[in-house]
Amino acid sequence: MRLAVTGATGFVGGAVCRAAAAAGWPVTAFGRRAAADARHVGGAAYRAWDITAAKLADPPDVDAVVHCAAAATDTGVAREVWRTNLLGTHHVLASFPGARIVHVSSASVYDPYRPTVRAKEHEAPVSRYLNAYAAAKAAAEQLVLVIAREAIVLRPHAVHGAGDPTLLPRLLENVRGNRLLVPGTGRVLVSMTAVDSLARACLLAAATETVRSGVFNIADRAPVTIDWAVRGLLASAGVPARPAYVPAGLLSPLARVFPRGRLNRYVISQFAVERTLDLTAAIDRLGFEPVPTVFPPPVPPPFPPS
Ligand SMILES: NC(=O)c1ccc[n+]([C@@H]2O[C@H](COP(=O)([O-])OP(=O)(O)OC[C@H]3O[C@@H](n4cnc5c(N)ncnc54)[C@H](OP(=O)(O)O)[C@@H]3O)[C@@H](O)[C@H]2O)c1
């Protein structure tokens, strides 16, 4: 299976490259930066490409593209987020018209105004979102499903694992003393996705002969409570802090005043209400084997940042 991976310098894309390399697949890794650490991309051939600029003039001949590149931010400038996540996706599709596209989307495409309870794939997109990230991810899914000859969309949630640049750092930067302020009660359930498990799902989606198009939730085997997840993540980082829960209703006025602040409405919606995914489709149709959510003891990231 000849694979191209966008966003290969990132958390998910790097894991996909390493998994593909371990499977013996030839990989062309794409990132925006000029060069990548060869270990991060599993020794793949690396090419720099800003996907917002234009389609590739000389794309490699591949069977499938795992498209991980994105502005993965809930506080980014809307125009830049849309340019990367929608225009960039358009350029990826235009560059590889004959290849299967495995599009790494997000569970952010589910309704942010209601709890996501064992959501099934048909429950998204919805008509309104809390930020450009979710709206652009939802739009990009539709673009991929309409344009690509074969399109498999994966929706992970709260991706965790060594080298995580988002979830854990975000928690750690909000630790004050031995306390971490968390919206909600901590008792609601959340589906999380181990990065290596997501990488395996990407390879399954790239290679399956029985599915040519479809949308699939990807997560760990069973949901966990926010409290369990937060405590586990803090412990895995060796940080002796405890969560302090603040009712969402008390934080909401603040979030309205600072819409792109750390405790914005999107963040509150992610922590204060249930966000769980139904995995039936991925298990039955892709042969996905979910793993339990575990947070290993403190480990350095797999490679120093390049
Ligand atoms: N992490 C999560 O919890 C999570 C949850 C759900 C869904 N996802 C989805 O998973 C995918 C990967 O996320 P991640 O966590 O791996 O993010 P990440 O670590 O921030 O990586 C983002 C990647 O996208 C690349 N990129 C950004 N802008 C680009 C541009 N204009 N042109 C080319 N490449 C560009 C970056 O390249 P450079 O670093 O070289 O600039 C980097 O390789 C995203 O689609 C995200 O929406 C992530």
DSSP string, 22-62: HTT--EEEEESSS---TTTTTT-EEEE--TTT---SS----
The answer to whether the CB of 11 is under 6 A from ligand 1 is yes
Cα 67 to middle of ligand 1, angstroms: 9
The answer to whether the CB of 12 is under 6 A from ligand 1 is yes
Return the ∠ at Cα 238 (arms to 234 and 243), rounded to 5°: 30
Q: Name the pairing type of β-strands 189-190 and 224-225.
A: antiparallel
Q: Name the pairing type of β-strands 116-119 and 150-156.
A: unpaired
Residue 298 lies in a domain: no
The answer to whether the CB of 68 is under 6 A from ligand 1 is yes
What pLDDT sits at residue 262? 77
Nearest to 67 by CA among 135, 131, 138, 140: 140
Cα 17 to middle of ligand 1, angstroms: 13
The C-alpha atoms of residue 122 and residue 137 are separated, in whole angstroms, by 15
Residue 36 lies in a domain: yes
Residue 221 · residue 253 · CB < 8 Å:
no
Q: Name the pairing type of β-strands 179-183 and 175-176.
A: antiparallel
Question: Where residue 140 sits, what CATH number does that domain have?
Answer: 3.40.50.720
Cα 178 to middle of ligand 1, angstroms: 31
* Cis before 183 (ω within 30): no
Residue 306 lies in a domain: no
Residue 296 lies in a domain: no
Residue type, 248: A
Instruction: With 0.85 as the threshold, say if the pTM is over it.
Output: yes
Atom of ligand 1 nearest to the CA of 9: 43
Residue 295 lies in a domain: no
Cα 7 to middle of ligand 1, angstroms: 5
Residue 257 lies in a domain: yes
Atom of ligand 1 nearest to the CA of 160: 3
What pLDDT sits at residue 218? 99
How many domains is the chain partitioned into structurally? 1
**Can you give the pLDDT of all 306 residues of the chain as single tens digits?**
999 999 999 999 999 999 999 999 999 999 999 999 999 999 999 999 999 999 999 999 999 999 999 999 998 999 999 999 999 999 999 999 999 999 999 999 999 999 999 999 999 999 999 999 999 999 999 999 999 999 999 999 999 999 999 999 999 988 999 999 999 999 999 999 999 999 999 999 999 999 999 999 999 999 999 999 999 999 999 999 999 999 998 888 877 777 777 788 999 999 999 999 999 999 999 999 999 999 987 656 666 655
- Residue 294's Cβ-count burial label (10 Å; 0-12, 13-18, 19+) is exposed
Residue 26 lies in a domain: yes
Cα 201 to middle of ligand 1, angstroms: 17
What pLDDT sits at residue 215? 98
Residue 303 lies in a domain: no
Output the six-digit token pair for 34. Answer: 């000029």
What is the CB neighbour count within 10 angstroms for residue 176? 9
Residue 198 · residue 286 · CB < 8 Å:
no
**Which alpha helices (DSSP H) does 35-101 contain, by range?**
78-82, 88-95
The C-alpha atoms of residue 156 and residue 197 are separated, in whole angstroms, by 10
Which DSSP helix (H) or strand (E) runs through 19? helix 11-22
What pLDDT sits at residue 301? 60
Residues linked to residue 4 through DSSP beta bridges, in sequence order: 28, 65
The C-alpha atoms of residue 33 and residue 51 are separated, in whole angstroms, by 11
Q: Which residues contact 24 (CB under 8 A, 6 or more apart)?
A: none
What pLDDT sits at residue 299? 58
Residue 269 · residue 112 · CB < 8 Å:
yes
The residue range of the domain holding 122 is 3-286
